[in-house]
């Protein structure tokens, strides 16, 4: 082999080594890129002022600090949460769109079947990251209402069918379903007036446009403390920490139980790296005493479940909710 050929081959070999080195550097640089690299959008399928928004804001703030990237809340209200949840289901599954939903995520697909309409989303389009809260809804009326107890309320409703109006966050939402459960359990008929979320519904109650609500404690606690609203009963099984004197409906003899939980979800095809990062961050903020104190102050204390436990809980709860919605049937 002549000297020229040797030099040429050496040059080619050197070039290949350089190319491989550059390729490896590029690949390693890509691999080293850490999620998240930019702000994350948290879709909240209800307007400001309701339980979902009240929970989402401290969660987004805590996650921003833990992840080192801003978590921006996008309130996308309408159709009892279906519009926002549907938008999150269709979002690019890259970890940069997450959903803070209430248990309405489990109600709506079943309601769509009953109403024979195209579903905005299906449950298998999401993967759970963590449950944040789990509160029974509370029956509230204005402080100047004539009903001092749940018994007073139910007896009046029985004597005067459809004369008592109640607001909700939308048809088959987490404020509608429990009231219909109570109506069925007590044999009364109430008049339903849907709004776009818990915030507007609470405002309607305060303004005298409706007479009652079933809402999460976080939406009503400050108004109760201010003497503007009165809590008559709740849909849980044990006393509420924030309202220990308010009785449960089951203790009063009515088979009506409903838990309004909140949780974080991502589109099902989200990369595992992003899921693991979000899950770990959520566990860390849940263990933070300052975050726990903040959540307690909202009236909706932390009741955390990690991804695995929440997934199992969600499946069981969804089955229970589906049966309740089927029992309700087609309602207005």
- Write out pLDDT tens, residues 231-287: 999 999 888 888 999 999 999 999 999 999 999 999 999 999 999 999 999 999 999
Q: Residue 8: pLDDT band by 50, 70, 90 thresholds?
A: very low
Secondary structure element (H or E) that encloses residue 242, with its range: none
Pairing of strands 138-142, 302-305: unpaired
Dist. CA 330–CA 223, nearest whole Å: 33
Q: Backbone phi, then psi, for 331, in 5-degree steps?
A: -130, 165
Q: For residue 15, what pLDDT band results from cuts at 50, 70 and 90? A: very low
pLDDT band, very low/low/confident/very high, at 167 (cuts 50, 70, 90): very high
The rounded Cα 18 to chain-centroid distance in angstroms is: 52
For the segment 43-50, the average pLDDT, to the nearest whole number, is 91
Name the pLDDT band for 199 (thresholds 50, 70, 90).
Answer: confident
Burial (CB count <10 Å: 0-12, 13-18, 19+), residue 119: middle
Each residue's pLDDT tens digit, 141-165? 999 999 999 999 999 999 999 999 9
Report yes or no on whether pTM surpasses 0.85: no
The radius of gyration computed from the CA coordinates of the chain, to the nearest angstrom, equals 25
Greatest pairwise CA separation for the chain in angstroms:
110
Q: What is the DSSP letter of 219?
A: H
- Is the pLDDT at 4 greater than 90? The verdict is no
User: Mean pLDDT, the chain, as a whole number?
Assistant: 89
Please write the tens of the pLDDT for every residue from 222-245: 899 999 999 999 999 888 888 999
**For position 7, what pLDDT does the model report?**
42
3-state SS track over 2-70: CHHHHHHHHHHHHHHHHHHHHHHHHHHHHHHCCCCCCCEEEEECCCCCCHHHHHHHHHHHHHHHHHCCC
| Residue 9 confidence (pLDDT) above 70 | no
pLDDT tens across 116-137, in order?
999 999 999 999 999 999 999 9
CA 47, CA 76: separation in Å to the nearest integer? 7
């Amino acid at each position: 082999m002549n000297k020229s050929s040797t030099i040429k081959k050496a040059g080619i070999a050197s070039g290949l080594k350089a190319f491989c080195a550059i390729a490896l550097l590029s690949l390693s640089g890509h691999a080293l890129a850490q999620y998240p690299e930019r702000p994350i959008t948290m879709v909240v399928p209800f307007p400001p002022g309701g339980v979902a928004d009240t929970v989402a804001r401290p969660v987004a703030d805590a996650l921003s600090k833990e992840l080192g990237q801003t978590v921006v809340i996008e309130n996308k209200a309408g159709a009892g949460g279906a519009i926002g949840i549907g938008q999150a289901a269709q979002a690019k599954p890259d970890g940069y769109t997450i959903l803070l939903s209430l248990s309405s995520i489990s109600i709506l697909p079943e309601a769509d079947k009953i109403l024979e309409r195209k579903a905005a989303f299906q449950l298998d389009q999401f993967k759970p990251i963590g449950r944040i809260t789990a509160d029974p809804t509370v029956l509230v009326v204005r402080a100047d209402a004539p009903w001092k107890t749940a018994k007073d309320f139910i007896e009046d409703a029985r004597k005067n069918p459809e004369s008592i109006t109640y607001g909700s966050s939308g048809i088959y939402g987490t404020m509608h379903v429990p009231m219909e459960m109570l109506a069925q359990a007590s044999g009364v008929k109430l008049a339903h007036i849907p709004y776009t979320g818990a915030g507007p519904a609470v405002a309607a109650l305060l303004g005298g446009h409706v007479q009652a609500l079933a809402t999460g404690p976080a939406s009503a606690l400050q108004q109760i403390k201010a003497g503007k609203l009165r809590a008559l009963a709740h849909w849980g099984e044990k006393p509420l920490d924030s309202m220990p004197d308010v009785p449960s409906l089951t203790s009063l003899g009515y088979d009506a139980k409903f838990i309004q939980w909140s949780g974080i979800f991502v589109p099902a095809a989200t990369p595992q790296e992003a899921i693991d990062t979000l899950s770990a961050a959520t566990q860390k903020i849940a263990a933070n005493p300052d975050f726990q104190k903040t959540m307690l102050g909202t009236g909706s204390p932390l009741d955390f479940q990690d991804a695995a436990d929440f997934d199992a809980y969600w499946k069981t709860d969804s089955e229970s909710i589906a049966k309740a919605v089927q029992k309700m049937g087609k309602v207005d």
